Amino acid sequence: MGSLFRSEEMALCQLFLQSEAAYACVSELGELGLVQFRDLNPDVNAFQRKFVNEVRRCDEMERKLRYLEKEIKKDGIPMLDTGESPEAPQPREMIDLEATFEKLENELREVNQNAEALKRNFLELTELKHILRKTQVFFDESVPTVYQSSVPRSSNKYRRLLQMADNQNEDEQAQLLGEEAVRASQPGQNLKLGFVAGVILRERLPAFERMLWRACRGNVFLRQAMIETPLEDPTNGDQVHKSVFIIFFQGDQLKTRVKKICEGFRATLYPCPEAPADRREMAMGVMTRIEDLNTVLGQTQDHRHRVLVAAAKNLKNWFVKVRKIKAIYHTLNLFNLDVTQKCLIAECWVPLLDIETIQLALRRGTERSGSSVPPILNRMQTFENPPTYNRTNKFTKAFQALIDAYGVASYREMNPAPYTIITFPFLFAVMFGDLGHGAIMALFGLWMIRKEKGLAAQKTDNEIWNIFFGGRYIIFLMGVFSMYTGMIYNDIFSKSLNIFGSHWQMSYNKSTVMENKYLQLSPKEDYEGSPYPFGMDPIWQVAGSNKIIFHNAYKMKISIIFGVIHMVFGVVMSWHNHTYFRNRISLIYEFIPQLMFLLLLFFYMVLLMFIKWIKFAATNEKPYSEACAPSILITFIDMVLFNTPKPAPSGCGVYMFWGQHFVQVLFVLLALGCIPIMLFAKPMLIMQARKLANEEVQPIAGASSDAETGGVSNGGPHGGGGPHEEEEEMSEIFIHQSIHTIEYVLGSVSHTASYLRLWALSLAHAQLAEVLWTMVLSIGLKQEGWFGGVILTCVFGFWAILTVGILVLMEGLSAFLHTLRLHWVEFQSKFYKGQGYAFQPFSFDAIIENGSAAVEE
Amino acid sequence: MGAAFFPVLFFTALWGAVGIGMPIMTPKGPHQNLIRCILMLTAACCWLFWLCCYMAQMNPLIGPKLKRDVVAMIGRSWDMKIVDG
């Protein structure tokens, strides 16, 4: 059970539930999460369903809870999250819950309203306090300026001003007008100036001033002062900056105009007594009121806090409960009502292996609800395609996700995920091979795996982190395999390890070394005869001038070798599919020619590589010496194009082994012969079968389906197909088959070439690592003395950052994407249809997880 | 043939043990087949990768081309004396 190689066998079941027991049963099934319900009333509007009222009540409860949550978050109270999931409450408990939430919400709203009113009051008082303070300053400072400006003028005016100054209490405002106003005032005319004081938002002030000036033609006088401390806006709690202003004017007409403008600019006006004594008194009054208000405000806040703290303890629990109730009613809405209204009928997909568990859960549900009639689970026959369900665990989940991202497997198709577990990290490692970088990656993966529980508990919205964490096992395996391939490449941060001692010997004397700038070791005399036992000989790492030539020859060959084997593996997987679906025609006329084509051309090329490695050596005599080694690629091209190979240098043979020419011609002809088989055999046979079937069963119309669909594509005995399959026209089958064949034949050429990315990426990675070493770290290593130590520390930091950032992260990402492509395109195209749809069971866990994610957005 | 007997045997035996021996010993359970598949694939990939590297170096067609200072350095630190004269 639970093997990942194919998706689970599914069954369509009918479920009869007693009306009373339905709720409890669905609740049990939700806890289990193994049943996918189908909508039995697809044409019924969402508002006309049976339990729409309950769903609406749940929505209302959820809204209240969200309101509570928002308020709790605003106050920064920690919410208790035990992580446990309480069972869905009984329907009758819903009323209690509703009442609780209603009470809480009302209480909170009331408190908030009160607090807001109090705050508004507080704001007004504070503004008034500021006005009184600032206007006092205005009145105080205006007097001496008038004195100064008027002293040198006529003594008459001076005297008058003095008199006015004495008379300050009566009309201070007169001084503010300055001497012109005084001059203009006729004796006997009552010079009474009015003024208004208020508070305005600071950013509105310039426009306000301009407007006043224009509307009143310069006949008003405005003084303003900033309030230094920002004030709190009671409606939304923002901090705003405001300014105090005072406007002097003359006459009623101007007064109304000024007031209108103030209103337009949303300035708040406050009464301000004219006499200083009154003002002082008022200020005192305001101060005491502010203090009173502060205590009341504090008490209100305390009360709010207490309410919220109490709510915060249960909030998560309530959320879970409400979501569960809602999910149950949603599911019940999918059910059909029986004619007697006594029972509900549901249709659902269930995994065949879990029917026992589901029946147990149903029995539990019935017992809980106290109903006497047991529920009935009935298997149904169907022609529909069942959903694809792969049972995964935390290790296989990420790999299955990689496959599903391409396309969910068709029902019971071979699942590539179990093979991907190894081939994916391995092909990645071929590109990423470096012991050091692999170790960093593996350690990071290991750390995530070790701290799994803790890291999983602290859910974050950080998408990048979630991706890394979800793929922790992939990362770990990629790291481990990279370490292995790194050891084979003998690369650790672009340097080599010399563990076993190089198998190349030097036998130079001093003069040779002094005379030649470059010395090339001879593969004939300086090579020990057997290679370095594990991985690359370290001498190649220091052979600056021809290391890349040697590495390229080696890495290109392994790319093709592994690529071809990977593709052959894919084709063999299609054999498993054909035999499983009893698809004999595809097995004989598709699988066999496909495999032949791949083996005869490309696997032959792989064999040539091994032959070249074995047969040609520097120590051999002429036809097999190092100078005679032919290029595999040229040989292969000549073979496919039937070219006569270019004559070899004297003493060498054109071919590697006896009869090669004959074998090659035979292989190519056979491979070409496979193409028409792939192209025509299957459609022809289908056509024949149809003709035969039509002749045989002509009298009975419409009974011909079995004989035809038996052989056609994925029909077979395992459901699949469906009745529409036979309608496929012959021409369509031909077109489909030709597309498929062309894709395969051209694909095998381009896919083989595509595997060369293994070489390209690996070369790029090794070169980048080496550049980083020579351009960065070696600078630090060349300094001497204590100063060198300081430099080395800095340089090392820089090098380490670049290593992790570029070589591990970016190169890792790029290698990851290339590996993904190799699996999706080159591997899976050989056998994987990916036309299924995923099994989405009704599960509380998934619903609650999604619900909380949606809220956090 | 430039292969040495011991390394070939050793690494083949090592990966053979992983790829054949360990799958036989995997305990029964729901994931037995999956574990076997993983082990066999691992062994096959790693063994072939090692083999390719080994065979690519078995009969070298070119020799490493070394710079003068590298030659000197190898002579000093890899225990390959450069003879006087």
In chain A, what residues touch B54 (CB-CB under 8 Å)? 531, 533
Instruction: Using alpha carbons, select from A315, A401, A383 the residue that is nearest to residue A4.
Output: A401
Size of interface A-B (CB pairs under 8 A): 195
| CB distance A482 to A433 below 8 Å | yes
Dist CA A185 CA A188 (whole Å): 9
Dist CA A130 CA A283 (whole Å): 9
Residue with tokens 């006092």: A136
Tens digits of per-residue pLDDT, A319-352? 888 989 999 998 988 888 877 778 888 999 999 9
Produce one character per residue of A146-176: b if its CB has 16 or more CB atoms within 10 Å, e if not: beeebeeeeeeeeeebeebeeeeeeebbbbb
| CB distance A335 to A22 below 8 Å | yes
pLDDT surpassing 70 at residue A115:
yes
Tens digits of per-residue pLDDT, B9-56? 999 999 999 999 999 999 998 889 999 999 999 999 999 999 999 999
In chain A, what residues touch B4 (CB-CB under 8 Å)? 530-531, 533
Query: pLDDT above 70 covers what percent of chain A?
Result: 89
Write out residues 415-454 of A within 8 Å (CB-CB) of B. Answer: 418-419, 421-423, 426, 430
pLDDT surpassing 60 at residue A164:
no
Which of A33-42, A270-279, A567-576 is modeled with the greatest confidence? A567-576
* Start and end residues for every CATH 3.30.70.3450 domain found in chain A: 141-291
In chain B, what residues touch A518 (CB-CB under 8 Å)? 65-68
Average pLDDT over residues A826-851: 88
Amino acid letter, A668 = V
Terminal Cα distance for chain B, rounded: 35
Q: Per the structure block, which two tokens stand in for A18? A: 């007693």
What is the nearest CA distance from B44 to chain A, expressed in angstroms?
A: 10
Whether residue A549 and residue B62 make contact (CB cut-off 8 A), yes or no, is yes
Sign of CA dihedral A819, A822, A828, A833: positive
Dist CA A749 CA A560 (whole Å): 11
pLDDT band at A857 (very low <50, low <70, confident <90, very high): very low
Dist CA A249 CA A181 (whole Å): 12
Which of B1, B60, B85 lies nearest to residue A511, judging by beta carbons?
B85
Sign of CA dihedral A707, A709, A712, A714: negative
Residues making up chain A, counted from first to last:
857
On the 0-12 / 13-18 / 19+ scale of CB atoms within 10 A, A581 is: buried
Dist CA A113 CA A569 (whole Å): 71
In order of A67, A622, A635, A792, the CA distances from A654 in angstroms are: 84, 12, 9, 56
Average pLDDT over residues A670-688: 93
Give residue A558's Cα distance to chain centre. Answer: 35
Dist CA A294 CA A22 (whole Å): 56
pLDDT for A256: 87
What are the sequence ranges of the domains in chain B? 5-77
pLDDT for A699: 54
Average pLDDT over residues A415-422: 94
pLDDT surpassing 90 at residue A192:
no
Quote helix, strand, coil % in chain B, to nearest 5: 70, 5, 25
- In eight-state DSSP terms, residue A700 is S
Q: Check CB contact of A597 with chain B, cutoff 8 Å.
A: no
In chain B, what residues touch A5 (CB-CB under 8 Å)? 33-34, 37
Sign of CA dihedral A450, A451, A455, A457: positive
Dist CA A16 CA A354 (whole Å): 18
Q: Mean pLDDT, chain A, as a whole number?
A: 85
Average pLDDT over residues A403-419: 93
Whether residue A534 and residue B11 make contact (CB cut-off 8 A), yes or no, is yes
A514 or A82, higher pLDDT: A514
For residue B54, what are the contacts with CB-CB under 8 A and spacing of at least 6? A531, A533, B3, B7, B8, B11
Tell me what ipTM this predicted complex has: 0.96
Whether residue A531 and residue B54 make contact (CB cut-off 8 A), yes or no, is yes
Lowest mean pLDDT among A222-236, A429-443, A600-614: A222-236
pLDDT surpassing 80 at residue A847:
yes
Instruction: Using alpha carbons, select from A574, A580, A536, A529 the residue that is nearest to residue A558.
Output: A536
What is the nearest CA distance from A815 to chain B, expressed in angstroms?
A: 18
Which of A561, A620, A629 lies nearest to residue B52, judging by beta carbons?
A561
Produce one character per residue of A683-705: b if its CB has 16 or more CB atoms within 10 Å, e if not: bbbbeebbeebeeeeeeeeeebe
Dist CA A219 CA A314 (whole Å): 64
pLDDT band at A211 (very low <50, low <70, confident <90, very high): confident
When scoring B9, B33, B39, B65 by the number of chain A Cβ atoms within 10 A, the one with the most, hence best to mutate, is: B65
Tens digits of per-residue pLDDT, A775-825? 999 988 888 888 889 999 999 999 999 999 999 999 999 999 999 999 999
pLDDT surpassing 60 at residue A174:
no
For residue A297, what are the contacts with CB-CB under 8 A and spacing of at least 6? A115, A118, A119, A122
Whether residue A614 and residue B58 make contact (CB cut-off 8 A), yes or no, is yes
Q: Per the structure block, which two tokens stand in for A372? A: 């006497």
Lowest mean pLDDT among A176-190, A486-500, A729-743, A756-770: A176-190
pLDDT for A141: 67
Q: Check CB contact of A539 with chain B, cutoff 8 Å.
A: yes
Lowest mean pLDDT among A73-77, A332-336, A470-474, A836-840: A73-77
| CB distance A591 to A578 below 8 Å | yes
Q: Per the structure block, which two tokens stand in for A376? A: 């009935």
When scoring B15, B31, B66, B68 by the number of chain A Cβ atoms within 10 A, the one with the most, hence best to mutate, is: B66
Q: Check CB contact of A517 with chain B, cutoff 8 Å.
A: yes
- Rg of chain B over all Cα atoms, to the nearest angstrom: 21
Dist CA A531 CA A495 (whole Å): 19
Instruction: Using alpha carbons, select from A194, A195, A193, A211 the residue that is nearest to residue A266.
Output: A211
pLDDT band at A268 (very low <50, low <70, confident <90, very high): confident
Average pLDDT over residues B60-79: 88
Residue with tokens 């407007």: A211
In chain A, what residues touch B72 (CB-CB under 8 Å)? 513
Dist CA A477 CA A425 (whole Å): 6
Question: pTM higher than 0.90, yes or no?
Answer: no
- In eight-state DSSP terms, residue A382 is -
Nearest-CA residue of chain A relative to B79? Answer: A501
pLDDT surpassing 50 at residue A566:
yes
For residue A99, what are the contacts with CB-CB under 8 A and spacing of at least 6? none
Dist CA A778 CA A782 (whole Å): 6
In chain B, what residues touch A557 (CB-CB under 8 Å)? 52, 56
In the three-class reduction of DSSP (H, G, I as helix; E, B as strand; rest coil), residue A200 is classed as strand
Q: Check CB contact of A396 with chain B, cutoff 8 Å.
A: yes
What is the nearest CA distance from A623 to chain B, expressed in angstroms?
A: 14
On the 0-12 / 13-18 / 19+ scale of CB atoms within 10 A, A444 is: middle
- In eight-state DSSP terms, residue A239 is E
Which of A430, A509, A562 lies nearest to residue B84, judging by beta carbons?
A509
When scoring A6, A542, A554, A615 by the number of chain B Cβ atoms within 10 A, the one with the most, hence best to mutate, is: A542
Other C-beta atoms lying within 10 Å of the C-beta of residue A809: 13
pLDDT band at A166 (very low <50, low <70, confident <90, very high): very low
Whether residue A488 and residue B74 make contact (CB cut-off 8 A), yes or no, is no
| CB distance A629 to A653 below 8 Å | no
Amino acid letter, A538 = P
| CB distance A485 to A442 below 8 Å | no
Write out residues 553-582 of A within 8 Å (CB-CB) of B. Answer: 553-554, 557-558, 561-562, 565
pLDDT surpassing 80 at residue A652:
yes
Whether residue A509 and residue B59 make contact (CB cut-off 8 A), yes or no, is no
In the three-class reduction of DSSP (H, G, I as helix; E, B as strand; rest coil), residue A74 is classed as helix
pLDDT for A715: 39
| CB distance A830 to A567 below 8 Å | yes
Residue A249 has phi, psi (to 5 degrees) of -155, 175
User: For A478, what's the count of Cα atoms within 13 Å in the CB-facing half-sphere?
Assistant: 28
Which of A484, A517, A536 lies nearest to residue B46, judging by beta carbons?
A484
In the three-class reduction of DSSP (H, G, I as helix; E, B as strand; rest coil), residue A271 is classed as coil
Q: Per the structure block, which two tokens stand in for A173? A: 């405002």
Instruction: Using alpha carbons, select from A753, A736, A725 the residue that is nearest to residue A825.
Output: A753
In DSSP notation, B28-48 reads PSTTHHHHHHHHHHHHHHHHH
Residue with tokens 């490449």: A489
Amino acid letter, A84 = E
Fold of A141-291: Alpha-Beta Plaits (3.30.70)
Nearest-CA residue of chain A relative to B62? Answer: A523
What is the nearest CA distance from B20 to chain A, expressed in angstroms?
A: 16
Lowest mean pLDDT among A76-85, A734-743, A773-782: A76-85
Tens digits of per-residue pLDDT, A453-501? 988 888 777 889 999 999 999 999 999 999 999 999 999 999 999 999 8
pLDDT band at A852 (very low <50, low <70, confident <90, very high): low
Whether residue A616 and residue B59 make contact (CB cut-off 8 A), yes or no, is yes
Other C-beta atoms lying within 10 Å of the C-beta of residue B21: 12
pLDDT surpassing 50 at residue A183:
no
In order of A545, A554, A592, A818, the CA distances from B61 in angstroms are: 16, 12, 38, 32
